Structure 1
Amino acid sequence: MKRVVVAGLGDSGVLTAIRLAKDCDVVGISGKTALVSGQELGWRISRPDHWAAHNWISFDRFRGLDRVRTVHGILTAVDLASRTVTVRGSDGEDMREGYDALVISTGVTNGFWRQPTLQSAEEIGAGLHAAHDRLAAAASVIVVGGGAAAVSSAANIARTWPDKRVELYFPGDRALTQYHPRTWARINRRLEEAGVALRPGHRAVLPDGFTGDEITSGPVQWSTGQEPASADAVLWTVGRVRPNSGWLPTELLDDDGFVRVTPELQVPGHPEVFAVGDIAATDPQRSSARNRADGLLAHNVMAAFEGRPLRTYRAPRSRWGSVLGIQRDGLEVFAPNGRAFRIPAWSFERVLMPLAVRRGIYRGVRGARTV
């Protein structure tokens, strides 16, 4: 049986490992002891216990990972010639894992909520509640950024704590520029209904050496000429993502450090190496992270083993999906054309998550997290 190493067990990595486990000997490597989703930041910081029940899942709860050997450690190197990766465990010792195919899905570093550190379950839980407690104690909050994480954070903070002053600062005329204009028009109304003050045309100046990886309280300076703004808590969601590719040779990377891939998600010159998720330079939005490319990738890994034709990944023109996350009145999901449809809250809890997500997408998840 062919061995596949899945380097990184975030959203894309877990799904890919599950897909491959029935046909291959799969080894999954992760700095965490669980899947800790990088999605839905606003839900995560405003209602961490509810978010964790759906988005923090220990690996041993996935039925689809029963055949996968998971390794808790940090990837430090790959030897392309000998087809091995080096992993540093929590004890500081290095170990090597061989592969017939390597799937790179180590994702990106982004803010305080997506860090490539080695973490135990206790450390994950502490991090979740630290951000929530910091925001809960603030009378005023500034959210800096114009992407989905920024918009979702501002809306969820305002709805969870309606007495807070919440302001959203973004550089353009509108936020959510990667989405269809219809999406922003609808979300704009939702933000105003929640009491969020919108501040377009503000581009923040980040202090030297600061990447937005913590909640701050100092004044925010603007390169666009406005007076500095201040609040008790400043949440930086400015999209300063950095690929977790320091363990890879530069020959595999583009100028920004993301993994170069063909339309088949293979690394050029190395047909046994694939990449998926935020680390893969598929298109400017690196959209394979949000468009279920795990199925295509698993097919292509097996096709490469068997000498069959590979399938091509095609990126959507606009981002789609949920923006604000689950709310008391349900989940609003946007199509690529900006049209919205609503899933009632009862259906989200009783149908979408347990049946469509846990049973359908993840092929079965045992039990439920108690938080």
Structure 2
Amino acid sequence: MTRKRVVVAGLGDSGILTAMRLARHADVVGISAKPALVSGQELGLRLSRPDDWSRDYWIAFDRFRGLDRVRTVHGRLTGLDPVARRVELTRHDGTRNHEDYDALVIATGVANGFWRRPALQSAADVAADLRAAHDRVAQAESVVVIGGGAAAVSSAANVARTWPRTRVDLYHPGERPLPAHHPRVWSRIRRRLADLGVGVHDGHRAVVPDGFACDEITTGAVHWSTGQEPVTADAVLWTIGRVTPNTGWLPSDMVDDDGFVRVTPDLRVPGRPGFFAIGDVAATDPLRSSARNRADGMLAHNVRADFDGRPLRNYRPPTRRWGSVLGAQPDGLEVFAPDGRAFRFPAWSVDRILQPVIVRRGIYRGVRP
């Protein structure tokens, strides 16, 4: 039987893991605007310790043993022809090309702030972005972090820990940060922030300047629609969760009103045979949680089952966010369960067991030095 061809559009965490699982059963082509895995995780670590972040979250594709059977293409997706079953793209060298498929997995993720951009980048571009953001924060005497999600909380904590003389304040619009997590999580994190000297200010909703995409670190005054006096800082981090799905290359009938890919519970795109979506780009649930809950195994099963005419499995999303909030700290890594209970990996185990054994060998099926 002729092997089917699967195109995985987007090689972030979800796309890579799905491509790895499918590569043993089909000819897989992965398309990425970046030349490597450039994870959107752990913004606080990325800002404060970019070298440490790069070691674990910026990994060239040819280092993944599980991608040895996957042909990776460095390019930007520009269009889709559902009838001809092909995606159109512009490669990094400027040439235009297309890739044919029997099944298409959409895993293009979202744009979110200055750290998750959909632009076609080289390794040098990625390195320049990392260094510029780090240097900007390192030179600041005052930092304001706007937002109440994990990226905002992590940024405030890690900046305060790395530069203890810098004044760091976290402004968020609700009664408490981390509203999608169990309340126990914030109770624990709040004490951490207090110990680090981070000022936490509830009920502040920022006025976003007209035309500003929240995709850069700014300087100066921040105004509030909730009536408080403006505040100023040398560096303002806009981590307000204003995400934009990377779906401009898709037909409009495949996305919802907010631009996310419509999916059924089995992660298929309705009305499009052989189309699937996973990760932050897929409208699975209000938290779009398939990226953080290892749905790659289920999706790979469903793609194969769809080829064979077998029943597909449904994705069941959790009701709360879970996982790490602050990232690895000098005293270890704290991971929260959906019920808010904390589990700690001792500091020595992060570099000796968690990353090399559980993540690189277990999850990613081997990463070359």
Give the TM-score, by structure 1 length. 0.98
SS of equivalent to 1:353: helix
Query: Which amino acid counterpart does residue 196 of structure 1 have in structure 2?
Result: V
Structure 2 residue aligned with 1:123: 125
Q: CA deviation at 1:167?
A: 0.2
Q: Which runs of 5+ in 2 are unaligned?
A: none
Paired with 1:130 and 1:344, the residues of 2 have a C-alpha distance of 31
1:189 matched to 2:161? The reply is no
Provide Cα deviations, 1:37-72, integer angstroms capped at 9, x if missing partner: 001000110000000000000000000000100000
Structure 2 residue aligned with 1:158: 160
Structure 2 residue aligned with 1:134: 136
Q: Which runs of 5+ in 1 are unaligned?
A: none
SS of equivalent to 1:4: strand
Paired with 1:153 and 1:283, the residues of 2 have a C-alpha distance of 26
Structure 2 residue aligned with 1:339: 341
Q: CA deviation at 1:92?
A: 2.0
Paired with 2:114 and 2:174, the residues of 1 have a C-alpha distance of 24
Structure 1 residue aligned with 2:103: 101
Query: Which amino acid counterpart does residue 140 of structure 2 have in structure 1?
Result: A
Structure 1 residue aligned with 2:171: 169
Paired with 1:363 and 1:298, the residues of 2 have a C-alpha distance of 15
Match of 1:203 among 192, 205, 208: 205
Paired with 2:251 and 2:49, the residues of 1 have a C-alpha distance of 40
SS of equivalent to 1:112: helix
Structure 2 residue aligned with 1:241: 243
Structure 2 residue aligned with 1:365: 367
Sequence identity, in percent?
Answer: 70
Structure 2 residue aligned with 1:293: 295
Structure 2 residue aligned with 1:178: 180
Paired with 2:15 and 2:166, the residues of 1 have a C-alpha distance of 38
Number of aligned residues: 367
Give the TM-score, by structure 2 length. 0.99
Query: Which amino acid counterpart does residue 175 of structure 2 have in structure 1?
Result: D
Query: Which amino acid counterpart does residue 36 of structure 2 have in structure 1?
Result: A
Match of 2:23 among 15, 21, 24: 21
Paired with 1:179 and 1:217, the residues of 2 have a C-alpha distance of 30
The runs of at least 4 aligned residues of structure 1 exceeding 4 Å deviation read none
Alignment of 1:323-338 (within 5 A): 323-338=325-340
Structure 1 residue aligned with 2:52: 50
1:146 matched to 2:176? The reply is no
Paired with 2:353 and 2:311, the residues of 1 have a C-alpha distance of 37
Q: CA deviation at 1:270?
A: 1.2
Q: CA deviation at 1:173?
A: 1.0
Paired with 1:47 and 1:148, the residues of 2 have a C-alpha distance of 17
Paired with 1:315 and 1:116, the residues of 2 have a C-alpha distance of 26
Paired with 2:13 and 2:358, the residues of 1 have a C-alpha distance of 16
Provide Cα deviations, 1:297-328, integer angstroms capped at 9, x if missing partner: 00000000111110100000100000000000
